[in-house]
Chain A
Amino acid sequence: MIKKVILTVMALVITVFYFYYNPAVQSFGPPCLIHKTTGLYCWGCGGQRAFHALLHGEFRRAFQYNALIFLVLPLLGVVLYAELFDDIRPFHYLRRRWVVLLAVGIFFLFTIIRNLDGFDFLIPTN
């Protein structure tokens, strides 16, 4: 029960927080160490800004900030559903070999592509 209450409260708090807080205007937390040290954009760069944009219905802007938001958010939604309703099926699906390989492939491919010339539309810009 405590798990379900805390997860629900956290999901609501984070959603409300990112609705009102705009990371593009004021930075929150430490900067991305990968971007800071190498100048490259990692798989997570722009994630907070993308979430804020998505909560305001700005889909194109969210895509530019971090296109992975369109995969990660449904994933987190499914995980939240599974935890709240004690449904273990999603975890079985996620741990299938081809799903794991696909997820790792997408993450690496996205990270490589967004750092190539000609893919500026995948780079977060304020």
Chain B
Amino acid sequence: MNNFPLAGFGNRLVAQIIDSIIVGIAFSLILVPFGGLAALIGLSSADALEGSDEATAAVMGLFGIGLIVLLLASIFTPLLYDAFMVSSSKQATFGKMIMKIKVVGPNGERLTFSQALVRSLIKYISGHFCFLLWLWPLFNPEEQALHDLAAKSLVIREA
């Protein structure tokens, strides 16, 4: 049992909600250039349906690239955001900073990037398998979720 002041389930949940909103906005901004690019060169879905072969190819090409970027971004943006922020000097994502909580190792130290990446990876995999797994901290004396157990991390209140 450690002596750190634990963050509390509610604070962690709210931090996660704030982070989801931030990542969602960032994610939308990534997609804007693709819509903008299509508009800039004067293409629309109508061109693909009625226009020349070149217009159809251009629209479909942009759509394909956009789809790939969308897929890659949806997988990697939340993972990297979480891992970079948690392993930074703040030891917290923006949501956690707002809630005045941070992630520490078993002795209060900052997590390395690889530790934070493993933590982040397990967090999103467990969340995608079933949100009920995120209820794990409710039953753990040190409020550790599965991703905390894997990375041996704790989420504590800032001093």
Contact = CB atoms under 8 A, between A and B. Distances in A.
A43 B132 contact: yes
B137 to A, nearest CB: 9
A89 interface: no
A3 B17 CA distance: 10
Nearest to A83: B10
A57 B131 CA distance: 24
Interface stretch (B33-41, B86-94, B102-110, B138-146): B138-146
Contacts, number: 55
Given A32-B130, A42-B130, A94 B138 contact: yes
B141 A95 contact: yes
A121 B9 CA distance: 34
A72 B132 contact: yes
Q: How large is the interface on B (under 10, 10 to 19, 20 to 34, 35 or more residues)?
A: 20 to 34
B17 A10 contact: yes
A112 interface: no
Nearest to B10: A83
Contacts of B11: 3
Q: How large is the interface on A (under 10, 10 to 19, 20 to 34, 35 or more residues)?
A: 20 to 34
B128 A2 contact: no
B65 interface: no
Interface string A68-89: 1000100100010011000000
A95 B139 CA distance: 5
A107 B136 CA distance: 12
Contacts of A94: 138-139
Interface in B25-65: none
Nearest to A94: B138
A7 B10 CA distance: 8
Nearest to B18: A6
Interface of A is mostly: helix
Nearest to B142: A95
A44 B11 CA distance: 24
B13 interface: yes
B68 interface: no
B139 A100 contact: yes
Contact of B139 (A43, A68, A99): A99
A15 B13 CA distance: 17
A23 to B, nearest CB: 14
Interface of A: 2-3, 6-7, 10, 30, 32-34, 42-44, 47, 68, 72, 75, 79, 82-83, 91, 94-95, 99-100, 103-104, 107
Interface of B: 8-11, 13-14, 17-18, 98-99, 128-132, 135, 138-141
Given A3-B14, A91-B138, 19 more contacts: A3-B10, A3-B99, A7-B13, A10-B17, A30-B128, A32-B129, A32-B130, A33-B128, A42-B130, A43-B132, A44-B131, A72-B135, A75-B135, A82-B10, A95-B138, A95-B139, A100-B139, A104-B139, A107-B132
